[in-house]
Structure 1
Amino acid sequence: MPMIFSEEDLQRIAEPHLHGYGAAVAEEARSALGGGASGIAEEAPAEAARDARDERGPFREAAAEAAPIVCASTRRIVLISPYPNLLHELIRDLSAACYDVLVFHRVDDLVLHSLQADLYLLDAGAANVLSSDPGFRTFIADPAKRRRALAIKPQRGQTAYGGKAARQAAESWQLAAAAPHEMLERIGQHLLRERSAHAAADEGLPGFKDLVVDTKRMAVFRSGSRVDLTKTEYELLLHFILAEGAVLTRDHLMEEIWGAAFFGNSNVVDVHVKSLRRKLGDSAVSPSYIETVRGVGYRLAD
């Protein structure tokens, strides 16, 4: 026990127990060091905070980039290619766009026949390899499969790994084709047409390819988008669709649409068919909807 001989001794013993003693000692130490300790004391927490932020930063960014997306609905796509490694970016983009992608290196008849796919993507760059597969030849000859198939063209600037033979084989498929960077948009358009056709069949509406005629509203839709037609153009199209591919003569169309009392020549039919084709985005040279039968009239194109 320390001995007390004076008031100074008493103060020295009592100071550690007085309020504010620690702060006073720290201030005395800072004064003795010329402020250096103050800088260290203040910087240490700041540096620690910065270190903590720096350590958390990459993880926070990674977590933001990896934020999962839950798809409300998906469509199934079957991709057939002997070289799927060359199409990994397309496969990634399709998966990110909520498509279920199944990849086949070759055609397995038993597996593909048991699958219910919304669309088939065929690697046109490897068409010569695929076309030598007996299972693929059976597949491509199936109208139902062809109707739901698109060909993938090699990337722009990329050497076609199949060369001229592959291009010739792909042309024999006679399928719509798109490059990988265009494929998402093309797939959306294709599935929209299919959905419109199914909806027309379910509702009993007249339709042809991606055209649907709503007879109640006298409206025509192409790939889900409305086409603005005049009353005469609407009636012409409806007559062609209801004829189901039969040839309709100009005289027949004039009598049905313009009536027997109409005094005019058959050129009026040609003028309105030309206008109808233009609004449908059709071509007289390579028709998709309305085909000209020379010297007779018109019919639906094959």
Structure 2
Amino acid sequence: MIIDCHVHSLGVEKVDVILKGMDKAGIDRAVIFSPYPSPYMGLEERIIPRTAPGVTRYLEFSYPNVTSEKQMEAVEFIARLQKEAPDRIIGFVWLEPRLKDAVQILEKAITSRELKGIKMIPDHWYPYDEFMYPVYKKAEELNIPILFHSGILYGFKDSSRFCRPVNYEVLLSFPNLRFALAHVSWPWVDECIAVWGRFRASLEEIEGERKEVQMFIDATPGTPLIYRKDALQKIMAFGAENNVLFGTDCTAGRLEYGKYHIERDVAILRQVIGVSKETVDKFLGGNALRFLGLK
């Protein structure tokens, strides 16, 4: 089974187009994020709209007029897509945690609209900010995973410093929360893998019966091709083969391009690095089943 764990939506996609693209690429299931809840949702052929010039400070938004109403509109959109193809589409809410009712919106998205997880990008906020703790606690309570952007951040204003992998070490305090750092945190690949090692070590440090590392590494590109073999080789050599996820970063209406990502990564893993077919199968989908709580 091939599961693409990292697909964006624009708020305009149709299910038949999405499924046709998945079939062309050979993708069995796709994790699709709701659109970012900005006024531009559904209006532009861009995942993230162009920003206006000007300095943006801590906790300020890169985009104006991000509202709870837009957040719920985005939830309803992805929930409709998932409902039309529940065996193929796995809906995640792209949550804006600075909204005052973010936790309430999250609970509604999961319990009422039956979405399966959360996507977040630290846009001028840090993952260790205390206002984030209720979101993490609610995700633990609902037993859903969070997929975070990590690494250099294009599209938002000067926010890359908020997305360094070490910032997520705070999640040691939420040991029942499954989460993934996207893009192997490029260019901080080594730091990402080291943070995964920190969570692996925590299995012997934290009381309880948890047997699996709560952190996953989303290997969705972000790593340019010249760095990709090196990043995947380091992940495998460090022992994270059971916690690495495949993704494309495609938009939902263009998933046919996922075929290229699959062929390229399989070639790197099998022909260049030399891992087993079993490891490739885990990378392409087996690990995602555990991340999503489906196995």
More helix by share: 1
Larger Rg: 1
TM-score by length of 2: 0.29
More strand by share: 1
User: Which protein has greater RCO, CA pairs closer than 8 Å, 6+ apart?
Assistant: 2
